[in-house]
Amino acid sequence: MSTVHTKHAHEANGSLAIPGFTPEAVRAKIGFCEQLKGGVIMDVVNAEQARIAEESGAVAVMALERVPADIRRMGGVARACDPRIIEEIQAAVSIPVMAKVRIGHFAEAQILEALEVDAIDESEVLTPADEEFHVWKHDFKSPFVCGCRDLGEALRRIHEGAAMIRTKGEAGTGNVVEAVRHMRAVMGGIRALRGLEQRELEKRAVEYRVPVELVAWVARQQKLPVPNFSAGGIATPADAALMMQLGAETVFVGSGIFKSQDPMRRAKAIVRAATHFRDPKVLAEVSRDLGEAMPGLEVANLPAEERLAQRGW
């Protein structure tokens, strides 16, 4: 085996140094996120839903007081979940339990870390707490996931310490169009860095408001330095397969499961779709007779102030 081959394979392994991350953060925080790949992370609001998610094959659950479709419907300020709900869900399942904090609300994040949630989602689905700063995620031992709409936003969150990235999509709509737009923007942004010279990378880093080392890493490796997941509007097995063929390594399904007619059946189908996302025969089989999906919303008709993806920067 040649030295060149060794170096290349080494870099492909993902254990390469990542600008801003300690080697231990790469192993423990990003390593945790690697274990979720090829899986489905499901929003749940109580222990019973969490058990259904685990029984269906979810790789993790996201504990919430309300799924995004209900947050949208009810309005008001959406905050981190009551610790009692998180503890009940932790007691009910053996898979990882994640929970959401408001953008910039590091005190809510401290509380979730004290509750030993396995990962924290700094989420635009909740009402933002800080209009200037996101949480400085390197300060936490818990891995964070953050939403993005394009490569610049993804890299800003990774610079702050996010150990996995997801598309924002438009949560609570059952409409995948925004998730597709965001994933295409991220993947296209990565491809657009290929072959740039140092001065061009520096210009791009200024535009993205991140260190040039991070941009250079992505230009060289042609992928994000952390796992790249998708969320926001995924409601069917085909939606999951679409996002994974576009580059997502795992999907988050929010309102799509427990707002549908037969949650267990739909959850199992989406889990199988995440494994066989390139196999149309299996996708056809799992898509049959799922009952009604969640009723969708046309994103183009949503007034700007109701678009959750606009939150964060």
Partner 1 sequence: MPSAAGEPRVGVLALQGDFAEHEAALARFGVATVQVRRPEQMRGLAALVLPGGESTTMLRLLRSEGLWEPVAAWLGSGRPVLATCAGLILLAREVNRPRQESLGVLDVSVDRNGYGRQVASGTFTLRSAALPGPAEGVFIRAPRITRVGPSVEVLAWRESDPVLVREGPVLAACFHPELQPDHPVTALFVELVRARVPASSMSPRNP
Residues that bind partner 1 (CB under 8 A): 1, 5-6, 9-10, 12-15, 24, 27-28, 31-32, 34-39, 54-60, 94-96, 113, 116-119, 141-143, 268, 271-272, 274-276, 279
Contact 18, 211 (CB under 8 A): no
Measure the CA–CA gap between 59 and 95, rounded to whole angstroms: 6
Chain centroid to Cα 286, Å, comes to 23
Q: Is the Cβ of residue 23 or residue 291 nearer to partner 1 in the bound state?
A: 23
Instruction: Indicate if 29 belongs to the active site.
Output: no
DSSP secondary structure string for all residues of 194-245? TT--HHHHHHHHHHHTS-HHHHHHHHHHSS-SS-EEB-SS--SHHHHHHHHH
Of 29, 100, 168, 268, which is the active-site residue?
100
Give the strand pairing for 251-253 and 60-63: unpaired
Our CB check for partner 1 shows the closer of 8 and 73 to be 8
Nearer to partner 1 by Cβ, of 285 and 306: the residue is 285
The crossing angle, in degrees rounded to 10, of helices 151-159 and 212-221 is: 120
Q: How far apart are CA 277 and CA 248, in angstroms?
A: 11
Q: Amino acid identity of 126?
A: L
User: Which residues are known catalytic residues?
Assistant: 100
